[in-house]
Amino acid sequence: MMAIFQVFKSSNKNQYYYLLKATGNSQLILSCEGFASKQSCLDGIKFIIANAADENTFERKDSYLSYTFFAEDSTGNVIAKSENYTSIGPREQVIGLIQADAPLATIQDLT
């Protein structure tokens, strides 16, 4: 499966965001917190691309019927977050997709 990062600006919050989506079915793979600048948003994408293969990039959180993950940069800022999954399997499958597809993903600027 191939993936694409889509960069867009929120008209409500005046912040930049990215989504990582599968190109075939537009499945949402990864999203982010808002960034104050477009460059910061692009830097977040570059971090994910550069570190996707590193298992330690993704911090997993588990609770009853809630399995999520997130990624932080070297300063502790959350730069990526997952959807909420009701079991471990789908979460791990999505992390595998990110590890395989993010380094090859293209960036689509929708701003």
* CATH number of the domain residue 71 falls in: 2.30.29.80
Structural domain count of the chain: 1
Confidence band (pLDDT; 50, 70, 90) for 1?
low
pLDDT exceeds cutoff 70 at 76: yes
What is the residue-averaged pLDDT of the chain? 93
**Could you tell me the two tokens for 33?**
């917190």
Place of tokens 């989506």: 21
Burial class (CB in 10 A: 0-12, 13-18, 19+), 48: buried
Confidence band (pLDDT; 50, 70, 90) for 45?
very high
Burial class (CB in 10 A: 0-12, 13-18, 19+), 15: middle
Q: Give me the domain span that covers residue 65.
A: 3-109
**Could you tell me the two tokens for 66?**
């809630």
Q: Percent of the chain having pLDDT more than 90?
A: 83
